[in-house]
Each structure stands twice: as C-alpha cells, then as structure tokens.
Amino acid sequence: MTLHADRVTWNRGGNLVVDGVSVQPEPGQTIGLLGPNGSGKSSLIRLLAGFAKPTSGTVGLDGDELASLKRRDVARAVAVVSQHADTDVDVSVAEVVRLGRIPHRGTFGADRTADDRAVASALAHTGLTDKCERLWHQLSGGERQRVQIARALAQEPRELLLDEPTNHLDIHHQLELMTLVTRLPVTSIVAIHDLNLAAMFCDRVMVMREGRLVAAGTPREVLTPDLIADVYQVRAKVTDDDGLTIRFLPADAN
C-alpha cells in the first residue's frame, strides 16, 4: 500500500484549507495535483508529508497512521521537494544532496559506499555531476530546484512529493524532470500549474478548488474545456490528436 490520505481536513488559521480530500495512488503512479492559487495543493502535500497533522481524517503509510511513525522511518520512504527550500549556510551541491542520506544512517554511522553511490546517481540523473562542487548561493533558481530534486532522489524513497517542481525550470529541464519522475520506480504526487505538462506526464490528475477535490481521473477524463472554464475561468480548446493538448483562448476570442 502506498502513502494515502483518507478524508483529510485541515483547519489552518481558522480556514478550512483542505476539506475532506482522499488520495489513494496505485504504486508507481504519477499523480498531478492541480488547482488555482490558494486551492490547497501545498497544504495537502504538507499533510501527506507528515509536516502537519490533519484536523480530521488520516494520512497512512503501509497501513500505519503517519502520525504514529518515527520521523526517520517516514523519511526512509517519503521524500519531499518543497517550493521554497533555501539555506544561508555556505554548502556545496554535493553536501546538499548528501543530506538525503541522513534517514538511512544506521546506529553505527553511515554506509559510505551506499551513500556515495546514491549521491552520484542522484547528481547524474539531475545533470548536476559537473556542478557538484559549486556552492548553493552561486546557483540559479532552476539549478537550486534541481539540487533539491537530487537530494530527494538520494533519499531513495518509495514515495515522492513534489510541490511545483518545474517552477523556475526552462522547458528542457521541465521535460527532463517530468520524464525522470515518471520513470522512477516510485509513487509521485506532484503539485503542478502547467496543465499541458500534467496531461503529458501524469497517470491521473486531481483538481482542487477552495480546499475540496472537484475532479479526479486520467488527464483525458478530467481536463475538459468545461472543467477548465469552471475551475480557472479560462476558455480552452482541448485537442487529442498526438497526445492531449490544451490551448488557452483570450477572454474575447470567439
């Protein structure tokens, strides 16, 4: 069984920012979490990551409630890439990526060989091998994003939670990242704004609005002009010739 949520609700600062949402991914699937700004995507990811406890409902991992598990045991299975990861400390790319190995440290310290292998593989997968000595503060926004993803990969998780991972990335790296995520033998839940990227790469999408789940299914089932108009107040043409493609229309177009 994968990481899952059962009718979770989160009352955050007096507002119901997640309202009765269930998530039950199949192992290995990539789930796209969609919805307008403020619809609750990041909040749901925080609940799934165990960073916050739901006001009601449960988040579970392998049949156990997440809240009952040790942080380290959760971190061995679940890696999270948040939106605004930053550090003031002068650390190198390799050092940030190596942080992903902390949950795997045994009582007698680190298994250097396994750690080195995981770090090297994560750097290679994210195209950062050549930049491994660079300092964090010398990196561009997109490079920092890739380092955070490399850290998550070094963690060798079964479940990957990504909050707008393609933010800051150029189109080449957006496609490369989403290809990587879908090919990894992990279950991924990805909050994403780009509906075309979601259509290209996600097995299923979940659409949130004001904390509630308003649609779920395959991109083909969910990303219809009616849904897009209803949730985003944007007119769109959806074609399905060579993969699902969404073209947005200006408000005054016929």
Say how far apart CA 192 and CA 194 lie, in whole Å: 6
Q: Name which of residues 9 to 48 contact ligand ATP (CB under 6 A).
A: 12-13, 15, 17, 35, 37-43
User: From CA 217, how far away is CA 167, in angstroms rounded?
Assistant: 24
| Binding to ligand ATP, residues 140-169 (CB under 6 A) | none
CB-nearer residue toward ligand ATP: 115 or 194 = 194
Looking at beta carbons only, is 59 or 122 nearer to ligand ATP? 59
Closest approach, Cβ 223 to ligand ATP, in A, equals 17
Pattern 52-81, binding to ligand ATP, x per CB under 6 A? ------------------------------
User: Toward ligand ATP, which CB reaches closer, 17 or 49?
Assistant: 17
| 125 binds ligand ATP per the rule CB under 6 A | no
Provide, rounded to whole angstroms, the least separation between the CB of residue 159 and ligand ATP.
19
Closest C-alpha among 32, 20, 40 to residue 206: 32
Task: Measure the CA–CA gap between 123 and 131, rounded to whole angstroms.
Answer: 9
* 5: CB partners within 8 A, 6+ apart: 21, 22, 23, 24, 44, 47, 48, 54, 57, 58, 59, 60
Size of residue set near ligand ATP by CB under 6 A? 12
Minimum CB distance to ligand ATP smaller for 134 or for 212: 212
Nearer to ligand ATP, 45 or 152 (CB): 45
What letter does residue 100 receive in the DSSP assignment?
G
The C-alpha atoms of residue 21 and residue 57 are separated, in whole angstroms, by: 9
What φ, ψ does residue 195 adopt, rounded to 5°?
A: -65, -30
Q: Name the minimum Å distance from CB 213 to ligand ATP.
A: 12
Between 12 and 235, name the residue whose CB sits nearer to ligand ATP: 12
- Find out whether 78 and 3 touch, Cβ atoms under 8 Å: yes
In three-state secondary structure terms, 214 is: strand
Instruction: Return residues touching ligand ATP (CB under 6 A).
Output: 12-13, 15, 17, 35, 37-43
